Structure 1
Amino acid sequence: KCKERLKSMENMVESKENESQRNPKEIWLFLDEFNTSPDIGWFNELICNRSLDGVKIPDEIKILAACNPYRERKLNKQENEWFGRDHLAQYAYRVFPLCETVKAHLWQFGSLPDLDERQYILEMIKNRKKELKRHLQTAFDNEVPFIVDKICKSQAFVRTKLQDVATVSLRDVDRCLKIFIWLVNKNFTDDIRQCLVISMGVCYYYRLKANEREEYQKVITKDINFLENLKRERDIDRTNGGIKGDIICIIYLHYHDDSKFFVLVGDPGTSKTLSFQILKKNMCQSEIANFRKRLKKESIDLKALHVVSFQCTQNSKAFRIQERWDQAMSHSDDKLIKLLLLDEIGLAEHSKHSPLKVLHYLLENPKISFVGLSNWPLDAAKMNRVIVHQIPNDLDNDLKAIGEAIYKTEHTNLQQTHVDMLMEVFKELHKQISEQYILSKSKDNWLGRRDFYALIRHYMHNPVPSESFQGIMRNLGGCRDPQFQRYVAEILESVSRKSATE
């Protein structure tokens, strides 16, 4: 691509020289993130030697290049297990080493000081005023200092908690303000501060881990009860047994014109795919009218979803993602929201073909919506371009909710004591797997919510666990490791004695 662009620029220079003997105007070529390409030697020749495959390029062509920084990425135990062998994953950005000759031309661009960033945020907020309806502008002016303060505090707090400081930028401010202005104009609530809480929840609060959310709440709640205001919107409806914050986030994002790109990050089994399936089911063309009524938000123009899916792998290529994007774009019905789903997008990031680089271009001015599902955070260059929802891994509460939901809604011979017994077996076995390393590697998510769901479903239509351990062995005892089998036997023996005593 770069060769093609240079060739066209050389042709332009030659044509201008033929038209006039005067020196033609300068033509600038900008190479963005050139150190993310494995062809680093080729770029070294172009930038430092001003030649292409040994042929000198015209003097009228000026080259300006930008590269991503080299900062080490903090990998936790689980991330080390998943992609510790990927040398590019060691850095916050997926970058290749620079040649020594290129380093002589480097200039450190740096980052905005806090005071300058605050001034930028203030100007961005003032520029949004013209997008509001006229009767809302006076109230908006009165709240500008409050909005600036809360967004600046959000920027500073989240920047210290994520994997790299560059994961938070003025792009987040822009997305937050877009959602905020959209909510205010839609008369979503009479309280402007309430709209700000929702937009900050979508852009900042939900991208944090569970313990970090509590800290963020304390930072923001000085002048406004942040969590109570956010819960007021999360509890809009409980479709299909529980619309979580991730579904609410997706709904907000894909019903206004600008912020349409969203990534769900969570451990395996944290209901990422299930959340999207619930959304897709309730917002298809045949169900959208009923969903709109249940939400009781008739003032919002809820449109049906048309979803194009792509299953990412470690061998994914950019042109395949581009094909799916174009397929979604080509759908002719303008009454639908066109959405591209990239499942397991984290796997594609570790492909040797760098397929996700195409998203940098596609997400600049997207005409369709985009959702990615990943088991781990992506690199800073991609996380900076999307809204992220980090799904907390609260296994104990999730197991309790699954057991209660199935026990209450289905006809079954199970009693509450049986459900409690299954929960105890599952949690104890999960604990042993996670803490005792009884398998060849640490397997924190080897047993997940799907296994527990299947376990409960088995005993709904079969002899209860106090009479038979068949369901436990079928759903939890599949590993042939002798030490694992010994732990299973010990746990079952312990639970059986406790059950007989009771």
Structure 2
Amino acid sequence: MKEYVWSFGRLSDLDEQQYIVEMVNQVKDKLSSIFHEYFEKLKDEISKRITTAQKFLRIHLRDRAIVSLQDVLRCLKIFEWLTKQCVDDYSSYIPWMSRSLNIAIGLCYYFRLNINERKQLSQELSTNVSFDKLLEQEVDKLCKSFLIPGGIALNQGLKENLFVLFISIITTTPIVLVGKSGSSKTLSFHIIRDNLSHSKMEFGKRLHENGLLFAVKPIYLMSFQCTRDTKAQEIKRRWDQAMRHSENKQIKP
């Protein structure tokens, strides 16, 4: 198959940086006018930090194709959605925008790295307070909002899984959660399902009590168990069913 594969290269660092700046500028038009003044104060920082994260992953994961402008688009989509959740307190716009940026960068870049790489990226993104500490605060606030079944230890792996899955679900961001057996992948999904399906109103209240301004909606689980005999048509049929269900306005954020 090699003769059918062609590398078209990638953007230069300068070109990519210019694209990122322009993509950040476009976010302003998608936000309500009440956010514009505060967004102008933060937009250079947004561009700089996303550019830094892009370069870091490309260098440390040793693959030029490991990140692209699609990652930038995904990060800005999450940032935009989170920012729009702040509609009550004018004085909280700038802090919430900064927090939204930390969450978006954490989801799209930080959690893809190992422990040592995370520390290095945190150093490059940190200002007055270290980035990893700020992100850890967001993870802890979210996890305090979940009702965790008795006998389950809320360890770091479970907390990160809950955080990544929850943010991906509420922003309709596709995600592939990979990990060894026993790393709480299925458990984290069940906890989110139970909290958003059966205790939605209580969960939303706990989110606000913990300083997370998310407007959550109940979720409906549609699973598909593949086997060696699974046909492509069966997967597509289930996928189409899920996509039709996702267009329901009561579900889609």
| TM-score category of the 2 structures, normalised to the smaller one | 0.7 to 0.9
> 1:125: which partner in 2?
24
> 1:195: which partner in 2?
100
Counterpart amino acid of residue 220 in structure 2:
H
Q: Distance in 2 between matches of 1:124 and 1:314?
A: 43
> 1:244: which partner in 2?
159
Alignment of 1:68-83 (within 5 A): none
- The CA deviation at 1:117 is 0.4
1:260 to 2:168 alignment? no
Q: Distance in 1 between matches of 2:103 and 2:11?
A: 26
Q: Distance in 2 between matches of 1:333 and 1:120?
A: 34
- The CA deviation at 1:299 is 4.8
Q: How many equivalent pairs are there?
A: 234
Provide closer, same or farther for how the CA distance between residues 195 and 329 of structure 1 changes in structure 2, counting only shifts above 3 A: closer
1:270 to 2:183 alignment? yes
Q: Distance in 1 between matches of 2:62 and 2:182?
A: 22
Query: 2:242 pairs with 294, 308, 328, which one?
Result: 328
1:279 to 2:187 alignment? no
Q: Distance in 1 between matches of 2:201 and 2:190?
A: 17
CA contact (8 A) 2:123 2:130 kept: no
Provide closer, same or farther for how the CA distance between residues 220 and 262 of structure 1 changes in structure 2, counting only shifts above 3 A: same
Higher relative contact order (CA 8 A, sep 6+): 2
> 2:133: which partner in 1?
228
Counterpart amino acid of residue 110 in structure 2:
Y
Counterpart amino acid of residue 318 in structure 1:
A
> 1:294: which partner in 2?
206
Counterpart amino acid of residue 205 in structure 1:
Y
Q: Distance in 2 between matches of 1:202 and 1:231?
A: 12
- The CA deviation at 1:200 is 0.5
Provide closer, same or farther for how the CA distance between residues 193 and 301 of structure 1 changes in structure 2, counting only shifts above 3 A: closer
Provide closer, same or farther for how the CA distance between residues 224 and 309 of structure 1 changes in structure 2, counting only shifts above 3 A: same
Q: Distance in 1 between matches of 2:26 and 2:37?
A: 14
1:164 to 2:63 alignment? yes
Counterpart amino acid of residue 290 in structure 1:
E
- The CA deviation at 1:169 is 0.6
> 2:74: which partner in 1?
175
**SS of residue paired to 1:228:** helix
Provide closer, same or farther for how the CA distance between residues 161 and 287 of structure 1 changes in structure 2, counting only shifts above 3 A: same
CA contact (8 A) 2:85 2:213 kept: yes
Provide closer, same or farther for how the CA distance between residues 279 and 163 of structure 1 changes in structure 2, counting only shifts above 3 A: farther
What is the RMSD of the two structures over their aligned residues, measured on CA atoms?
2.5
Q: Distance in 1 between matches of 2:167 and 2:222?
A: 20
> 1:308: which partner in 2?
222
Query: 2:111 pairs with 201, 206, 212, which one?
Result: 206
Q: TM-score, normalised by structure 2?
A: 0.82
CA contact (8 A) 1:307 1:328 kept: no
Percent identity over the alignment? 36
Q: Distance in 2 between matches of 1:214 and 1:317?
A: 43
> 1:26: which partner in 2?
none
Structure (1/2) with the larger strand percentage: 1
Q: Distance in 2 between matches of 1:313 and 1:154?
A: 38
- The CA deviation at 1:273 is 0.8
**SS of residue paired to 2:106:** helix
Alignment of 1:410-421 (within 5 A): none
- The CA deviation at 1:209 is 1.5
Q: TM-score, normalised by structure 1?
A: 0.43
- The CA deviation at 1:333 is 5.4
Q: Distance in 1 between matches of 2:232 and 2:60?
A: 31
**SS of residue paired to 2:177:** strand
**SS of residue paired to 1:254:** helix
**SS of residue paired to 2:219:** strand
Alignment of 1:85-484 (within 5 A): 96-98=1-3, 108-162=7-61, 164-187=63-86, 190=93, 191=95, 192-222=97-127, 224-236=129-141, 237=144, 239-240=147-148, 242=154, 244-256=159-171, 259-284=172-197, 286-296=198-208, 299-313=213-227, 316-331=230-245, 334-336=249-251
Structure number with bigger Rg: 1
Structure (1/2) with the larger helix percentage: 2
- The CA deviation at 1:295 is 2.1
**SS of residue paired to 1:263:** coil
- The CA deviation at 1:309 is 0.6
Gaps of 5+ in 1: 1-95, 338-367, 369-502
